[in-house]
Amino acid sequence: MSASSKDQEIEELKQKLKVAEEERDRERSQRQWEKRRADDAEEERHRLVGEIAQLSSQLAGSERVEWIQQAQSRRTPSPEPIPQNQATLSPILPIPQEVVYDGEIFKHISEDNNYATIIFDPEIKSGIVRAEVLNISKLQAIGIADESVRYRRGDQPQAKGWGKIAGYFSNGWIGHVGELGVWGNESFEGTNIRLTLEFNMESNPRSLTFFYNGIEQPNYVVKIPNTVRIWTFIRFEGGSFKITKFERVSTPKAKHLRGSKALEWGKQWAVGGHHRSILQIDDSDFELDFDFQDRDD
8 Å CB contact between 263 and 221: yes
CA dihedral 246, 249, 254, 255 (to 10 degrees): -170
Mean predicted confidence (pLDDT) in 78-107: 77
CA 187 to chain centre: 18
Pick the more confident residue, 11 or 155: 155
3-state secondary structure of 247: strand
- pLDDT, mean of residues 187-198: 97
Most confidently predicted of 10-24, 34-48, 152-166, 270-284? 152-166
**pLDDT for residue 81 is more than 50:** no
What value does the CA radius of gyration of the chain take, rounded to a whole number of Å?
40
Q: What is the pLDDT of residues 129-178, one digit of tens each?
A: 999 999 999 999 999 999 999 999 999 999 999 999 999 999 999 999 87
Q: Which residue has the higher pLDDT, 218 or 271?
A: 218
Q: Would you state the pLDDT for residue 287?
A: 40
Half-sphere exposure of 37 (CA within 13 A, CB side): 6
Statement: residue 83 has pLDDT above 70: no
| Residue 199 pLDDT greater than 70, yes or no | yes
Q: 99-113: string of b/e by CB count within 10 Å (b at 16+)?
A: beeeeeebbbebeeb
CB of 226 closer than 8 Å to CB of 209: no
d(CA 220, CA 185): 9
The residues, any chain, with a CB within 8 Å of residue 8's CB and separated by 6 or more, are none
d(CA 70, CA 235): 49
Check whether 114 has a pLDDT greater than 70: yes
Mean pLDDT score of the chain, rounded to an integer? 81
Which residues are registered as beta bridge partners of 111? Answer: none
Average pLDDT over residues 107-127: 95
- Chain-centroid distance, C-alpha 239: 22
Residue 272 has pLDDT above 50, yes or no: no
pTM equals 0.65
